[in-house]
Amino acid sequence: MSYDKHNLYWGAYKPQKDFVGIKKADWIVERFLGEDDAGGNFSNNPNDKGTICLILEDKENSFWPVMSFLSNEEIRKLIKDLTEFIK
Protein backbone atom coordinates (compact mmCIF):
# COMPACT_ATOMS: atom_id res chain seq x y z
CA MET A 1 0.00 0.00 0.00
CA SER A 2 1.32 3.43 -0.83
CA TYR A 3 -0.04 6.71 0.41
CA ASP A 4 -0.75 9.99 -1.34
CA LYS A 5 -0.23 13.35 0.36
CA HIS A 6 -3.88 13.41 1.51
CA ASN A 7 -5.92 10.21 1.88
CA LEU A 8 -9.65 9.66 2.47
CA TYR A 9 -10.99 6.21 3.30
CA TRP A 10 -14.66 5.34 3.77
CA GLY A 11 -14.57 1.52 3.70
CA ALA A 12 -15.74 1.28 7.34
CA TYR A 13 -18.89 3.32 6.66
CA LYS A 14 -22.20 3.20 4.84
CA PRO A 15 -22.36 6.65 3.21
CA GLN A 16 -25.66 8.54 3.21
CA LYS A 17 -25.43 9.98 -0.32
CA ASP A 18 -22.25 12.12 -0.18
CA PHE A 19 -22.07 12.30 3.62
CA VAL A 20 -20.39 10.19 6.28
CA GLY A 21 -20.86 11.14 9.94
CA ILE A 22 -18.37 10.06 12.58
CA LYS A 23 -19.53 10.37 16.18
CA LYS A 24 -16.35 9.68 18.18
CA ALA A 25 -13.16 10.85 16.54
CA ASP A 26 -9.98 12.64 17.53
CA TRP A 27 -7.21 14.30 15.57
CA ILE A 28 -3.92 12.56 16.33
CA VAL A 29 -0.35 13.00 15.10
CA GLU A 30 1.87 10.06 14.16
CA ARG A 31 5.16 9.60 12.39
CA PHE A 32 5.14 7.46 9.25
CA LEU A 33 8.14 5.14 9.52
CA GLY A 34 7.71 3.24 6.27
CA GLU A 35 5.90 0.20 4.92
CA ASP A 36 6.27 -3.55 5.00
CA ASP A 37 4.08 -6.49 3.93
CA ALA A 38 1.62 -5.76 6.78
CA GLY A 39 1.11 -2.15 5.63
CA GLY A 40 2.17 1.24 6.97
CA ASN A 41 4.22 1.56 10.13
CA PHE A 42 3.36 4.55 12.29
CA SER A 43 4.65 5.75 15.66
CA ASN A 44 3.31 8.24 18.19
CA ASN A 45 6.83 8.85 19.50
CA PRO A 46 7.77 12.43 18.47
CA ASN A 47 11.47 11.52 18.63
CA ASP A 48 11.20 8.89 15.90
CA LYS A 49 12.37 9.86 12.41
CA GLY A 50 9.74 9.91 9.69
CA THR A 51 7.13 12.02 7.97
CA ILE A 52 4.54 13.63 10.24
CA CYS A 53 0.99 12.51 9.54
CA LEU A 54 -2.16 14.27 10.79
CA ILE A 55 -4.85 11.60 11.25
CA LEU A 56 -8.54 11.62 12.06
CA GLU A 57 -8.95 8.57 14.29
CA ASP A 58 -12.43 7.02 14.44
CA LYS A 59 -12.46 5.48 17.93
CA GLU A 60 -15.64 3.39 17.49
CA ASN A 61 -14.44 1.65 14.33
CA SER A 62 -10.68 1.65 15.06
CA PHE A 63 -10.28 3.32 11.68
CA TRP A 64 -8.31 6.22 10.18
CA PRO A 65 -10.59 7.79 7.54
CA VAL A 66 -8.38 10.87 6.99
CA MET A 67 -4.59 10.92 6.74
CA SER A 68 -2.52 13.92 5.64
CA PHE A 69 1.25 13.79 5.40
CA LEU A 70 2.61 17.24 6.25
CA SER A 71 5.94 18.96 5.74
CA ASN A 72 7.53 20.95 8.57
CA GLU A 73 6.56 24.14 6.74
CA GLU A 74 2.91 23.04 6.49
CA ILE A 75 2.90 22.15 10.19
CA ARG A 76 4.27 25.57 11.15
CA LYS A 77 1.59 27.26 9.04
CA LEU A 78 -1.16 25.09 10.56
CA ILE A 79 0.05 25.90 14.09
CA LYS A 80 0.11 29.62 13.22
CA ASP A 81 -3.35 29.53 11.66
CA LEU A 82 -4.90 27.56 14.52
CA THR A 83 -3.27 29.82 17.12
CA GLU A 84 -4.87 32.84 15.46
CA PHE A 85 -8.30 31.31 16.02
CA ILE A 86 -7.84 30.70 19.75
CA LYS A 87 -6.61 34.19 20.71
Count CA atoms closer than 13 A to 57's CA, side-chain side.
10
CA-CA-CA-CA torsion sign (59, 65, 66, 67): positive
pLDDT averaged over consecutive 10-residue blocks of the chain (87 residues)? 86 74 92 89 95 95 94 96 92
Q: How far lies 52's CA from each of 26, 38, 86, in Å? A: 16, 20, 23
* Residue closest to 25 by CA, chosen among 12, 15, 40: 12
**pLDDT value at residue 1:** 62
- pTM for the model stands at 0.86
